[in-house]
Amino acid sequence: INAEYMGKQDNCRDKLMKSGQPQDSLTNQITKDSDRFQPESDRYHLYISYGCPYCQRTYIVRNLKGLQEHIGLSNTHPTFQKTKPEQDDHVGWVFRNESDPPLTNIRGNGSFTCEGCIPDTVNNCKTVRELYELSGQVGVKYSLPVVWDKKEKVIVNNDSADIMRILNSSFNDLSTNPSLDLYPEALRSQIDNFNNGLFLAFNSNIYKCAQAKTQADYDVAVNTVFEQLDKIEDLLDKQRYVAGDLFTEADIKLFVALLRFDEVFHSLFKINRKRIADYPNLRNFLREIYQMPGITETVNMNHIKKFYFSSQVELNPSGLIPIGPNVIEDLGKTHDRAKFT
């Protein structure tokens, strides 16, 4: 895992890249007054991987805003494959039908079914790389999530933070929940401070743990992760959500990271001093968000675990998937966050 990429960027990269390489971001906006990309029903399509936390952020906002009937969805297989083996060694996401046979990891290990995959029904692409090339983006990093314009046949945006805000505000005339504002003006300072402060320090150091090549680097990163978790635990002891009394985009970003902690980061990345289950406020926060209408169905722990344990062959060449700890069972239990109402 590339810490420079996964910790600081707002999308999931398709293969291991050297630290410091710039991300090829496409950040066009969809607005009513745009001379190119206006909000319209059935014009845009969202490409994601259930396993990727950056993708899940956008999937959650699409659901919470009630845009399922207006913006289509495709979900890749969680296990990276060679995209053009006859041409180069590029490894990335592929599209499959649920009825297709299982895949192995790129080293030929494991057997990973296509359950939950949603093929590319718009362009019939077989890989995310092919989607980018169809849009004229050749030789870039083929990242997800992607918002695709079916009218112009191009990628509009591939930055999850941007996409979250586009879905939050640009489609309110079509939304079944237009009053929901995940980036309210009155809380933007608190949201931005959390996103760029506690959360960034927490999230970036998760992936620095995975990337560490020396004990010293690992020690710094893992200690920073738990320092930030302690601070967020303290914050959530004083208020219901990270920006105050209202649920915002900052809570979504934290939720998708915490969701993966005990199942993936704790073992695969060796971030194992404590679990989220050991933090009362974080644990109950995770339960509350998971149980919100529209969010539960965005959680596919099968795909999450397969994405990390089958695709990250540098860390897990065998492709073996751990059997536990079954976080989903705990997420359905009663939470205590209503004490703040």
Residues labelled catalytic: 52, 207
Here the tokens at position 263 are 């199942």
Residue with tokens 């586009």: 166
Q: 140 to each of 84, 147, 179, how far by Cα in Å?
A: 15, 16, 37
- CA dist., res. 160 & res. 42, Å (int): 20
Query: Which residues are within 8 A (CB) of 60 and not within 5 positions of it... i.e. 6 or more apart?
Result: 252, 255, 256, 294, 295, 298
Query: Which residues are within 8 A (CB) of 252 and not within 5 positions of it... i.e. 6 or more apart?
Result: 57, 60, 61, 164, 182, 289
Question: For residue 23, which of 159, 197, 169 has the smallest C-alpha distance?
Answer: 159
3-state secondary structure 213-236: CCHHHHHHHHHHHHHHHHHHHHHH
User: Positive or negative CA dihedral for 284, 285, 289, 290?
Assistant: negative
Q: Output DSSP code: residue 183.
A: S
Q: Output DSSP code: residue 187.
A: G
How far out from the chain centre does Cα 82 lie? 22
- CA dist., res. 175 & res. 186, Å (int): 22
**Angle, helix 188-196 to helix 249-260, in steps of 10 degrees:** 30
Which amino acid appears at position 17 of this protein? Answer: M
Per 3-state DSSP, the chain is made up of helix, strand and coil in percentages (nearest 5) of 40, 10, 50
Which amino acid appears at position 89 of this protein? Answer: D
Question: For residue 253, which of 337, 138, 160, 173 has the smallest C-alpha distance?
Answer: 160
Here the tokens at position 289 are 């968000």
Helix (H, G, I), strand (E, B) or coil at 211: helix
